[in-house]
Amino acid sequence: MQTFKKVLFAILIFLFQVLILDHLPLSYGVQINLFIYIILCLIPFNINKTSLIFIAFLIGLLRDLFTFTYGLYAFGAIAIIFIQHYYFLLPQYNKFKKIDTSLYANSNLLGWRSFLIYITIFSTIFTFLVNIINYLSSWMHIRFFFIIEEIVFTIIFICIAELIRSWLFHKEEKEKFV
């Protein structure tokens, strides 16, 4: 039942991304992409790296199918997975390797301060990678302000999704750490 809830949460996040967030003009009539679905790549913590790369590739490929971008989001998702591996090799994260986290690096495990730093770093990397590759492939003028705005909105929506997720799974996770 726990796995079913997590898969359902992932499907709902992805559908929310492609059916609602991709069609919201948030700023001055200009389309801004909110990348809330990257939480599906950033949350898994203690699983096989090969499996995580495969999951990120599938998530990115599905996003590419909905937006007709031909590998742009798949590249971004795989890139943050590679960088994430080295991020958690930093000394301050050694204590988490001993805990069975049941696949989730979340606000309950990391604490909100570390979680916000983690999400900010990886949202920034993902957004810059996707926008720079999009810029280079289409020769369009890139606007720095819109990239910053996308990063800020992405972080806000990821935090809201994490609040909802921690509210839904709070009792189950609390029992696991006690």
Q: Is the whole-model pTM more than 0.95?
A: no
pLDDT single digits (tens) 7-50 = 788 888 888 888 887 777 766 655 566 777 777 777 765 677 88
Domain extent at residue 70: 2-177
The tens digit of pLDDT for each residue in 108-151 reads 667 778 778 888 888 888 888 888 887 776 655 556 667 777 78
Does residue 57 have a pLDDT over 60? yes
User: Alpha helix locations (H) across 22-143?
Assistant: 39-42, 49-67, 72-87, 107-110, 112-138
The CA distances from residue 59 to 41, 136, 167, in Å, are 8, 23, 24
Question: What's the number of domains the chain is made of?
Answer: 1
The DSSP bridge pattern shows strands 30-31 and 25-27 to be antiparallel
Which of 45, 43, 38 lies closest to 60, judged by CA? 38
Closest CA to 107 of 47, 165, 157, 52: 165
Mean pLDDT over each residue of the chain, to the nearest integer: 75
- Is it the case that residue 102 has pLDDT exceeding 50? no
Compute and round to an integer the Cα radius of gyration of the chain: 16
